[in-house]
Amino acid sequence: CGRVCPQETQCEGKCVRGIKGESVGIGRLERFVADWHREHNTTAPTVPESNGHKVAIIGAGPSGLTAAGDLAKLGYKVTVYEALHLAGGVLVYGIPEFRLPKAIVQKEIEGLQAMGVDIETNMVIGKVLTIDELMGDYGYEAVYVASGAGLPRFMGIPGESLKGVYSANEYLTRVNLMKAYQEGSKTPIKKSKNVAVVGGGNVAMDAARSAKRLGAENVYIVYRRGMEELPARKEEVEHAEEEGIIF
């Protein structure tokens, strides 16, 4: 919450201090407290007493991991099935390292595992196992499907299938999760001098700033409306401008 939530429109946007001046820096305070706790806490999480019930969760993204933690605290035996080779969902494949370090996500996952949550990766439910098998053969009483919004939406315009044209999903997944930026990567990514990113949301900012880090000389955000109407967080737009992204 302290790193990737749009605090300025949510908690800070509703803060009464903001009526007369600057709102309380809730996001920065959350970030500080969470970082301090992570670095100084040595207490292992308590494993709740089992209530004898089993639940399967499909997808190890924010929703699946949250449900897993809440259910584990209530004594349920939880197994999370993740299609990719790393748990974390959009936190690891969508949000770049410079915005949300992977070590922070991993620490959260380790905390869940310490509470007794099992995480099975490389498990494409529907192909490796079906929901019927989970409930029939494996004895899960409930299945929570948290498969995420993982598919891109294209504009349906000529040239979208040309080489060097990526959806933000593919681009960020390759860079963040598949380590495409490394020499000799099995999933290399095209490194271009001039990059245009179509869109003005947080994902566009992440893609643009990632392209800049991959060595692009000029990165353009191409958006159909004005600067005031960019859907991205104000903080993200400011960071992009500081890094030389051209709007």
Report the CATH number at residue 104.
3.50.50.60
What is the DSSP annotation of the chain? Answer: -TTTS-TTTTTGGG-THHHHSPPP-HHHHHHHHHHHHHHH--PPPP-PPP-S-EEEEE--SHHHHHHHHHHHHTT-EEEEE-SSSSTTTHHHHTS-TTTS-HHHHHHHHHHHHHTT-EEE-S--BTTTB-HHHHHHTS--SEEEE---S-S------TTTTSTT---HHHHHHHHHTS-TTSTT-SS-----SEEEEE--SHHHHHHHHHHHHTT-SEEEEE-SS-GGG--S-HHHHHHHHHTT-B-
* 195 and 229 belong to one structural domain: yes
- Label residue 8 by pLDDT band (50, 70, 90): confident
Tell me: pLDDT of 150 over 80.
no
Instruction: Check residue 79 and give its pLDDT.
Output: 98
Instruction: Check residue 42 and give its pLDDT.
Output: 87
Domain that holds residue 231: 168-242
User: Using CA of residue 226, residue 230, residue 233, residue 239, what is the dihedral sign?
Assistant: negative
Model pTM score = 0.88
What pLDDT, in 10s, does the model give residues 156-167? 999 999 999 999
Tell which of 112, 145, 178 closes a domain. 145
* 101 and 173 belong to one structural domain: no
- Residue 98 domain-assigned? yes
What pLDDT, in 10s, does the model give residues 76-132? 999 999 999 999 999 999 999 999 999 999 999 999 999 999 999 999 999 999 999
The domain total for the chain is 2
What pLDDT, in 10s, does the model give residues 116-138? 999 999 999 999 999 999 999 99
- Residue 8 domain-assigned? no
* 137 and 212 belong to one structural domain: no
Percentage of the residues of the chain whose pLDDT score is greater than 90: 81
